[in-house]
Amino acid sequence: MTFVKGQGMLDVRGLKKVYEGSGRRVEAVRDLTFTVDAGELVCLVGPSGCGKTTLLKCMGGLLTPTAGEVLLQGERVTGPPPGMAFVFQEYGRSLFPWMRVGENVELPLKQKGLSRSRRRELVADALRSVGLADAAGAYPWQLSGGMQQRVAIARALAYEPQVLLMDEPFAAVDAQTRADLEDLVRGLWRERGITILFVTHDIDEAVYLGERVVVLSASPTVVQEQLKVDLPDDRDQLHTRVAPRFAELRTHVYEQIQAAKRGTPRDAPEDAVKTDAPPPA
Amino acid sequence: MKGLNLALGAAGLAAFLLLGEAVPRLGLVKDAYFPPTSRIAGALGDELADSAFWTALGDTLTGWAVGLAVAACAGVVAGVVISVVPYLREATASTIEFLRPIPSVALIPLAVLLYGTELRSVLLLVVYASFWQILIQTLYGVQDVDPVAEETARSYGLGTWARIRYVLWPTALPYVMTGLRLAAAVALILTITAELVIGAPGLGARIAVAQTSQAVPDMYALIVVTGVLGLLINVGARSVERRALAWHQSVRGEVAV
């Protein structure tokens, strides 16, 4: 157990989640094991309905897994940990319409018990980072979808998390806004050195953003494959997306997802664990 | 457009008042029971000059306001507690459904037995009638909490109390406001009823006195006053609602982004 500490920021071990209710038993996640290192940007892709959101909610302490565990810096996650921030897909529902943008960003900080001046500093800094420095006084519903998701990201940043969990955050915005937001996330990640786990169903997005892509199988979910993205750190929408290596990687991930849908997982979990992290002793 | 509507509204009201003047004067109804508008207006003028009228108005408003305030506080607190404590909602649902339809007026004998013609008698009826309006709306409102908003709050470490304050309460507020508006109208009805039937001091009791002393125009004048009160209460409640819910879709309308 000791080697785990300091090595993985996030450890997911043998995670299993079964929903039971009204006579139906749904195994959303069967057995997931993977690690996210400190400062890494990992993208999780998988066929739709493969339990990505379930997995993320278990990691964020919002759901209790049926079996297995999630460790944040070696500490078992039992509830939402203070070092973790969550960005939801449904920004319109995740931001509180009764609070102004600044108040939305500030609310979690109040709960942290930070001083007023420190809170102001963090709010202003976070809003500046996402390019919304002068939107603090607006209500979220006065902003466009892309701007609202920026506010949600600012709220997460101001919280100063070690780990940022993002659940298909750009699924509901248009393509151009999406490209901007992708660059924003990469920029923030490089600037702030936060560990980011980014869930998406978009293969291009996963390859473009991630340092590593974890491909999940169809439900009941296991890890289909883990793939290192060996693209240069400096990425941009114009050149990276037409690079031959990008095409190779996306084709590979695409094939994996198709294989996952057909339900022929190639014993990937063991392989992957061997290459990325030693198996638990 | 707004000016036109206002003019039409004023014209309609004027026509209605004229009709009230003409019908008794033409002898279509007995003017002893249905005095013309001008006589009612005259009686209203006399009432307004009488300090006893203002005392009665004050009594009525006191009964209304205190009753409504007690009902609102109790209704909101009970609604939130019933929703937040597990199983309490299920346990109380049938009792609430049984108690709610009991007409407040049916409690008049009980009120008289307990408190005679005191203010407390009025309050019992007013609180009983308005409490359910607010409780039911609060229960609906609390159920409307968005699961994503709730999960957001939990993921940022907001505890139970903070989630009640920052998520549950603002979500329920539009419903509570509707409940409050309905309760404000019901509270006025019950205040006047209680005064009229029980004889607790107030406009209702004054209407009863005017009736028994054959002061028919005065009776109408007092009825007009209660109508105006109802109108003002509704206007007031709506403006409070608009202020408190400036962020809500029903008030802000569609925003062009």
How does residue A24 score in pLDDT terms, banded at 50, 70 and 90?
Answer: confident
Classify residue A277 by its DSSP letter: S
Measured between CA atoms, how close is A54 to chain B, in angstroms? 13
Q: Is residue B254 very low, low, confident or very high in pLDDT (cuts 50, 70, 90)?
A: low
Does residue B158 contact residue A110 with C-beta atoms inside 8 Å?
no
Task: Identify the pLDDT of residue A19.
Answer: 87
Of the candidates B223, B166, B246, the one whose C-alpha atom is nearest the C-alpha of residue B43 is B223
Sign of the alpha-carbon torsion through A188, A212, B148, A180: positive
As given in the structure block, the two tokens for residue B244 are: 């408190």
Nearest by CB: A94 against B149, B248, B255: B149
State residue B257's pLDDT score.
52
Put simply, whether B146 touches A (Cβ < 8 Å) is: yes
Nearest C-alpha of chain A: how many angstroms from B150?
8
DSSP string computed for chain B: -HHHHHHHHHHHHHHHHHHHHHHHHTTSS-TTTS--HHHHHHHHHHHHH-HHHHHHHHHHHHHHHHHHHHHHHHHHHHHHHHHHSTTHHHHHHHHHHHHTTS-GGGGHHHHHHHHTTSHHHHHHHHHHHHHHHHHHHHHHHHHT--HHHHHHHHHTT--HHHHIIIIIHHHHHHHHHHHHHHHHHHHHHHHHHHHHHH--SSHHHHHHHHHHTT-HHHHHHHHHHHHHHHHHHHHHHHHHHHHHTTTSHHHH-PPP-
Q: How confident is the model at residue A234 (pLDDT cuts 50, 70, 90)?
A: confident
Segment A13-40 mean pLDDT: 88
Interface of B with A in 195-214 (CB under 8 A): none
Answer yes or no: are the C-beta atoms of A33 and A15 closer than 8 Å. yes
DSSP, res A20: E
Average pLDDT of chain A is 86
Beta-carbon separation of B155 and A142 below 8 A = no
* Interface mutation target, options B144, B148, B154, B156, chain A, most CBs of A under 10 Å: B156
Best interface-test mutation with B: which of A96, A164, A174 has the largest number of B CBs within 10 A? A96
Over residues B172-217, the pLDDT tens digits come to 999 999 999 999 999 999 999 999 999 999 999 999 999 999 999 9
CB contacts < 8 A, A to B, total 65
A266 DSSP assignment: -
Instruction: Decide the pairing of beta strands A8-21 and A24-37.
Output: antiparallel
CB within 8 Å: B156 and A107: yes
ω into B109 cis (within 30 of 0): no
Give the pLDDT of residue A84. Answer: 92
What average pLDDT does chain B have? Answer: 92
pLDDT value at residue A281:
40
Do strands A212-216 and A221-228 pair parallel, antiparallel, or not at all (unpaired)? antiparallel
Cβ contact A80–B154 (<8 Å): yes
% of chain A beyond a pLDDT of 90: 57
pLDDT at res. A270: 41
The yes-or-no verdict on residue A2 having pLDDT over 80 is: no
Q: What is the pLDDT of residue A257?
A: 86
Tokens of B22: 């003409």
CA B244 to chain centre: 18
Facing residue for A62 by CB, picked from B155, B159, B252: B155
C-beta atoms of A86 and B149 within 8 A: no
* A58 and A64 Cβ atoms separated by less than 8 Å: yes
Of residues A255, A161, A238, the one with CA closest to residue A203: A255
Residue of A nearest to B149 (CA): A94
What is the average pLDDT across A56-62? 91
Once rounded to an integer, what is the mean pLDDT over residues B48-72? 96
Q: Comparing A69-73, A132-136, A267-271, B22-26, which segment has the lowest mean pLDDT?
A: A267-271
Residue A3: predicted pLDDT:
40
Query: Is pLDDT above 70 for B153?
Result: yes
Check pLDDT > 60 for residue B2.
yes
pLDDT at A6: 45
- pLDDT of B73 > 90? The answer is yes
* B161–chain A Cβ distance below 8 A for any pair: no
CB-based contact (8 Å) between B149 and chain A?
yes
Which chain A residues are Cβ-neighbours of B151 within 8 angstroms? 57, 62, 86, 88
Separation between Cα atoms, residue A123 and residue A121, nearest integer Å:
6
Predicted pLDDT of residue A132: 93
**Which pLDDT does position A113 carry in this prediction?**
87
Q: Nearest C-alpha of chain B: how many angstroms from A100?
A: 9
pLDDT digits 0-9 by tens, A87-131: 999 998 999 999 999 999 999 999 888 999 999 999 999 999 999
Global model pTM greater than 0.90: no
Q: CA angle at residue B247 from B242 to B84, to 5 degrees?
A: 95
Q: Of A73-77, A238-242, A263-267, B155-159, which range is least confident?
A: A263-267
Residue of B nearest to A145 (CA): B257
On chain A, the residues whose CB falls within 8 A of the CB of B249 are 97
CB B183 within 8 A of CB B71: yes
pLDDT at position B255 is 60
DSSP secondary-structure letter at A170? Answer: T
Give residues 96 to 115 of B whose Cβ lies within 8 Å of A. none
Task: Give the per-residue pLDDT at A268.
Answer: 42
Residue A97 has a pLDDT of 93
**Cβ of residue B144 closer than 8 Å to a chain A Cβ:** no
CA B114 to chain A, closest CA, distance in angstroms equals 44
d(CA A58, CA A77): 9
Chain B residue whose CA is closest to A160 = B156
Report the complex ipTM: 0.84
Question: Does residue B224 surpass a pLDDT of 60?
Answer: yes
pLDDT at B155 over 90: yes
Q: Is A269's pLDDT higher than 60?
A: no
Q: Reduced to 3 states, what is the DSSP secondary structure of residue A271?
A: helix
Q: Which of B157, B162, B170 sits opposite A96 (nearest CB)?
A: B170
In order of their start, the domains of chain A are 1-83+161-224+253-276 (3.40.50.300), 93-160 (no CATH)
**Quick one: which of B202, B216, B232 has its CA closest to B40?**
B216
Residue B1 has pLDDT above 80, yes or no: no
B167/A96 touch (CB, cutoff 8 Å), yes or no: yes
What is the pLDDT, as a whole number, of residue A276? Answer: 42
Burial class (CB in 10 A: 0-12, 13-18, 19+), B2: exposed
At A214 the pLDDT is 93
Distance CA A185, CA A161 (A): 14
Average pLDDT of the residues in B127-136: 96
| Burial of B223: CB neighbours in 10 Å, binned 0-12, 13-18, 19+ | middle
pLDDT class for A50, splitting at 50, 70, 90? Answer: confident
SS3 track for A43-86: EEECCCCCCHHHHHHHHCCCCCCCEEEEEECCEECCCCCCCEEE
In whole angstroms, give the CA distance from residue A269 to residue A157. 32
